[in-house]
Structure 1
Amino acid sequence: MGTPNGTAGHTRPGSPMPGSPMAWGATQAEWDRNYPSDDGLRPGWLRMVRAVPCAAPPDAVWPWLCQLQVAPYSYDLLDNRGRRSPRHLTPGLTDLTVGQDFMTIFQLEEFVTRSRLTLSVKPGGPTRLFGAGWITYAVEPDGRGSRLVGALAFPERRGVLGAVSNALLPWGDLVMMRKQLLTLADLAAR
Structure 2
Amino acid sequence: MNRRWLGVGTAALLVAVAYAPPARRWYLTYGATAAEAARPLPGDDLVPRPRVQSTRAVTINAAPEAVWPWLVQMGSGRAGAYTYDWIENLFGLDMHSSDVILPQFQDLSTGDVLPLGTDGPAMRVEICDPARTLALRSTDGAWLWTFQLDDRAPGTRLLSRNRISVPDPTWVRRLVDRLLMEPGSLIMERRMLLGIKQRAEGRVGMPRPLTRAT
Q: Is the 8 A contact 2:116 2:123 kept in 1?
A: yes
**Is it true that 1:160 corresponds to 2:209 in the alignment?**
no
Q: How many residues align?
A: 167
Percent identity over paired residues: 28
Aligned residue in 2 for 1:99: 112
- Of residues 83, 92, 113 in structure 2, which corresponds to 1:74? 83
1:114 aligns with 2:131: yes
Normalised to the residue count of structure 2, the TM-score between the two structures is: 0.69
Work out the CA distance in 1 between the residues paired with 2:43 and 2:116: 17
Give 3-state SS (helix, strand or coil) of 1:25's partner: coil
Q: CA deviation at 1:135?
A: 0.7
Q: Does 1:149 align with 2:159?
A: yes
Cα distance change, pair 34–91 in 1 and its aligned pair in 2 (3 A): same
Aligned partner of residue 28 in structure 2, secondary structure:
coil
Please state how far the C-alpha of 1:64 moved relative to its aligned partner.
0.4
The Cα of 1:178 is off from its aligned counterpart by 0.6
**Is the partner of 2:103 in helix, strand or coil?**
coil
Equivalent position of 1:55 in the other structure: 61
CA distance in 2, matches of 1:63, 1:74: 17
CA contact (8 A) 2:43 2:127 kept: no
Contact (CA 8 Å) 1:37, 1:153: kept in 2 or not? no
Q: CA deviation at 1:185?
A: 1.0
Measured after TM superposition, the shift of residue 30 of structure 1 is 1.3
**In structure 2, the residue corresponding to 1:21 is in which secondary structure?**
helix
1:118 and 1:83 map into 2 onto residues whose CA distance is: 19
In the TM superposition, residue 179 of structure 1 has moved relative to its aligned partner by: 0.5
User: Which residue in 2 is equivalent to 1:182?
Assistant: 194
Aligned to 1:9: none
**d(CA) in 2 for partners of 1:91 and 1:29?**
35
Structure 1 residues 134 and 29: CA distance shift in structure 2, 3 A: same
Distance in 1 between the 2:135 and 2:89 partners?
21
Change (3 A) 1:102 1:53: farther
- Aligned mates of 2:184, 2:88 — CA distance in 1: 12
Instruction: Encode CA deviations 1:116-162: one digit per residue, 9 max, x unaligned.
Output: 11112233xxx8xxxx2111011111145111110111125511332
Partner of 1:64: 70
- Report the Cα distance in structure 1 between the residues aligned to 2:130 and 2:95, rounded to whole angstroms: 28
Q: Does structure 2 retain, via aligned residues, the 8 Å contact 1:120–1:134? A: yes
- For structure 2, the 5+ residue unaligned runs are 1-20, 203-214
Aligned Cα root-mean-square deviation (Å): 2.4
Q: Which structure is higher in helix share? A: 2
Runs of 4+ in 1 over 6 A off after TM superposition: none
Mapped partners of 1:76, 1:64: distance in 2:
16
Alpha-carbon distance in structure 2 between the residues aligned to 1:174 and 1:62: 22
**Bigger Rg, which one:** 2
Aligned pair partner of 1:41 in 48, 57, 61 = 48
Do the aligned partners of residues 181 and 187 (structure 1) sit closer, same or farther apart at CA in structure 2, a change above 3 Å counting?
same
